[in-house]
Structure 1
């Protein structure tokens, strides 16, 4: 583990979310996420998983409650301060959100370019991660020429290329075969061992068994339960 392990990086206190004047889709969420920990977020379709992820990667502000990210109050912070926080979070979207006019290589390189890396320092890491996800031979292809599974792998490569402090993934194995899905989960585990906090939303109960050390957060009709104690306790570091 790196020094990020066991530090408090996300804290929700009595958070609720409603869209327009509808009933709350998330209610009374109070939990803390710790650095260097692997979390699965589970629940039936419509339970609110994607809405909670949107709060975690700061795409949505809650209707009520307190949200602290990396020690900062994300609710009262001026909007001008949010981009710096967002750069610490990698996101794998369920709908990929690749930039259509950029090649696979350039989509993956985008976070490094935004962060100011030189082209000399970009080529090696991007090539390595494209090879790791099995798409080195597709680096010049544009998203429209890629299959759904290939687009998913490019989206994951883009999310992890900058080694974020937290990775948030919405059904990241949903469009790949079981062998590639396991390979992607192993990539998340590797990042986790290096100190990145991982939050993977999934309805695949088989996936939970692939990472026995992961903590489980379960959503049911917008409320959280914690069958592994994920919401109340910092993780224990092996002796």
Structure 2
């Protein structure tokens, strides 16, 4: 597969209002790491929604995993979405499930046997520093803890593509670095990673990362590498 994602002259309009995104064209290579930046309201979240199939474009072509995602039959959408890990800005944890069960959810949906779930879930909870809160429900967790559970849930299935919207916005710098290590490790295993962020600390830490900048609904320099020398994650 030459590209895991291909956008061609994509536009997005909500209702009868003006276009939120206009003439968006870019491609994402398998196993690459991308940052999406831009001012608040520039269209970053809307672009991510198109990537993880929560929104269909108003016009243009989107190819995902080698197939036309715009014309994809509805019954095939769940299978496509399971190939994409998503970290939402508002977490979207299932409130009546424990932290453990929230992280385990993608594996259960994928049909993984119960006796093969416990070890990876506990390892992931330990990685994000929340093994001791495994039995806690989301309402009892802080915003930062909920963010870490959401990230653990998004990456546990080793998705082909990870899409993260401001993934370090609710954690301290030390935990942000830890989560960044997690994204880098997943990327080294072959996952294409797309992170929307305002955190300039993150932007300089990934060797060979590429930056896509959204400005007023349009993409600026979609293939440009970071313009300052990145410092590798240690």
1:11 lines up with 2:6 in the alignment? yes
Would you say how many aligned residue pairs link Structure 1 and Structure 2? 225
DSSP-derived class of the 1:8 partner: coil
Residue aligning to 2:230: none
Alignment partner, residue 200 of structure 2: 205
Q: Which moved more, 1:73-82 or 1:120-129?
A: 73-82
Counterpart residue number, 1:158: 153
1:96 is paired with a residue whose SS is coil
Matches within 5 A, 1:1-239: 7-226=2-221, 229=224
Distance 1:140 1:122 in 2: 15
Unpaired runs of 5+ in structure 2? 226-234
**TM-score, normalised relative to structure 2:** 0.94
Query: Shift of residue 212 of structure 1?
Result: 3.1
Residues 35-71 of structure 1, C-alpha deviations (whole Å, 9 max, x = no match): 0000000001000000000000000000000000001
More displaced, 77-86 or 133-142? 77-86
Q: Distance in 1 between matches of 2:157 and 2:199?
A: 27
Displacement over 4 Å in runs of 4+? none
| Matches of 1:106 and 1:7, distance apart in 2 | 36
8 Å Cα contact 2:26-2:222 kept in structure 1: no
CA gap 1:228/1:9 in 2 versus in 1, 3 angstroms: closer
TM-score normalised by the chain length of structure 1: 0.92
Counterpart in 1 of 2:228?
Answer: none
| Equivalent position SS for 1:53 | helix
Alpha-carbon offset, residue 227 of structure 1: 6.8
Q: Provide the C-alpha distance between the structure 1 equivalents of 2:2 and 2:187, rounded to a whole number of angstroms.
A: 14
Higher mean C-alpha displacement, 124-133 vs 204-213? 204-213
What is the alpha-carbon distance in structure 1 between the residues aligned to residue 154 and residue 211 of structure 2? 22
RMSD (CA atoms): 1.1
SS at match of 2:22: strand
2:92 alignment partner, SS class: coil
